[in-house]
Amino acid sequence: MEIPDFQSIMLPLLQTLADGEVRPIRDVTRSLADHFKLTDEERSKLLPSGQQSVFGNRVAWAKTDLKMAGLIENPSRGLVRISDEGKKVLAQKPDKITRSFLRQFPAYDAFFTKKPDQQEDVGASDQQAIAAEGIHTPEELLESSYATLRDALAEELLDRVKSCSPAFFEQLVVRLLVAMGYGGSLADAAQVIGKSGDGGIDGTIKEDKLGLDVVCVQAKRWENTVGRPVVQAFAGSMEGFRARKGVLITTATFSAEAREYVTRIERKIVLIDGPTLANYMMDYDIGVAMSRSFIVKKIDLDYFEES
Task: Categorize the per-residue pLDDT at 151 as very low, low, confident or very high, splitting at 50, 70 and 90.
Answer: confident
Pick the CATH number of 6-136 from 1.10.357, 1.25.40, 1.10.10, 2.60.120: 1.10.10
Q: Answer with the residue of higher pLDDT: 241 or 60.
A: 60
Lowest mean pLDDT among 71-85, 126-140, 237-251, 272-286: 126-140
Closest CA to 85 of 95, 72, 98: 72
Beta-carbon contacts of residue 40 (< 8 Å; ≥ 6 apart): none
- Virtual torsion, Cα 122, 128, 130, 135, nearest 10 deg: -90
Residue 194: the pLDDT is 57
Asked if the model's pLDDT at residue 272 lies above 80, the reply is: yes
Asked if the model's pLDDT at residue 129 lies above 80, the reply is: no
Residue 165: the pLDDT is 86
Beta-carbon contacts of residue 55 (< 8 Å; ≥ 6 apart): 3, 29, 32, 33, 38, 42, 43, 45
What is the distance between the alpha carbons of residues 230 and 29, in angstroms, rounded to a whole number? 51
**88-97: pLDDT as tens digits:** 999 999 999 9
**25-70: pLDDT as tens digits:** 999 999 999 999 999 999 999 888 788 899 999 999 999 899 989 9
Residue 118: the pLDDT is 44
Show me where the domains of the chain are located. Answer: 6-136, 165-283
Domains 6-136 and 165-283 share a fold: no
Asked if the model's pLDDT at residue 177 lies above 70, the reply is: yes
Pick the CATH number of 165-283 from 3.40.50.10190, 3.40.1340.10, 3.40.640.10, 3.55.50.30: 3.40.1340.10
